[in-house]
Amino acid sequence: MKQFEARDSMYRIGVDVGGTFTDFVMVDTADGSLAFHKVPSTPHDPSSAIAAGIAEMLELNGVDPASVGYVGHGTTVATNMVIERRGVPTALLTTKGFRDVLAIGRQTRPSLFDWSVRKPEPLVGRHLRIEVDERLDKNGTPLVSPDLDAVAELAVRLRDSGVKAVAVGFLHSYRNPEHERAARDAIKRVAPELYVSISSDVVAEFREYERFSTTALNAYVGPRTQQYLRRLREKIALSGINIEPLTFHSNGGLLPVQTVEELPVLTCLSGPAAGVIGSARIGADIGETEIITFDVGGTSTDVSLITGGRAQFTSSRLVAGHPVRMPMVDIHVIGAG
């Protein structure tokens, strides 16, 4: 075993979790020297490849884990779960009369004359989209209050039927989250093991289809993302690294683990977004402001535009055909690696 060298350096580690490989880079902040490493990804549990790769890289470079001051990782775990339909059984509680919003969607058709194109099935089946007799007016003023005892009874039945997550999306809740929060509290009181996402926490904006879709997706991937992150935290701690990992936001920023556990939908473009932000920084260092980024992986190729030295952003996009209303780097994904 290579012995750790006595150094005063602090090390920063970046991790990119792909469908085929998990890549690592480590920088010594004292002198700017870099080390790189690569291991096969472990799709059944991405945290295994991350922990193993970090341990190998530290060992190969004789770096004491206690001298690591930063671990940031980009991941497509949430996106892959949606693409592969590997999320958990999810229910949607919604205002009476709005049960079929997820199925109706919008009038626009991306391929109007291509009969082979089909809309993706909603992540929540119709039998699990359940109406609640409640109503707010357009200003958020309560008109009909939900029967919270009935909501609690419903939560128990859903849990007993195998449902693992519940999305709550009520009409006009972006103006007043009172009814959604009351429903969430009623569910958690009788079935604390259920993962609950309310639309007023996920995306407090008007347009029911996009708001309900984003909230349903967040609930669909929530439990398994939560399990993955908890395993990652445990393995990072066991390696001797004394800091918690951070996760890249789809807008190129960084998120603590707790935020990602509550809002995994924020990481739908986590890994690709980090690459675009890094490219913009490199462009600034070499005096280039007009850049096309081209990130070829084993599963997909991600293309983005940097103009004026800045990445381009969008407030909404489709993830496996499902609308997601979140700020994110504008990246075009080609389904071929």
For the chain, which domains are there? 87-221 (3.40.1360)
What's the pLDDT band for 7 if we cut at 50, 70, 90? very low
pLDDT of res. 94? 98
Q: How are beta strands 165-169 and 195-198 bridged, if at all?
A: parallel
Contact of 71 with 13, CB cutoff 8 Å? yes
Q: Which amino acid is at 320?
A: A
Q: What percent of the chain has pLDDT over 70?
A: 96
Across 25-29, 107-111, 243-247, 276-280, least confident range: 107-111
pLDDT of res. 202? 97
pLDDT at residue 4 tops 50: no
Average pLDDT value for residue range 87-108? 94
pLDDT at residue 5 tops 70: no
Gap between the Cα atoms of 25 and 7, Å rounded: 19
Spatial CA neighbour of 221 closest among 86, 316, 323: 86
Average pLDDT of the chain to the nearest whole number: 92
pLDDT of res. 335? 65
Tens digits of residue pLDDT in 44-77: 899 999 999 999 999 999 999 999 999 999 988 8
SS3 of residue 127 by DSSP: helix
Q: Is 41 exposed, middle or buried (0-12, 13-18, 19+ CB in 10 A)?
A: buried
Average pLDDT value for residue range 259-277? 92
What token pair was written down for 205? 């904006």
Contact of 327 with 250, CB cutoff 8 Å? yes
For the chain, report the end-to-end CA distance as a whole number of angstroms.
37
**CB within 8 A of 12, min separation 6: which ones?**
26, 27, 29, 68, 69, 70, 71, 72
Average pLDDT value for residue range 15-29? 92
Gap between the Cα atoms of 54 and 37, Å rounded: 8
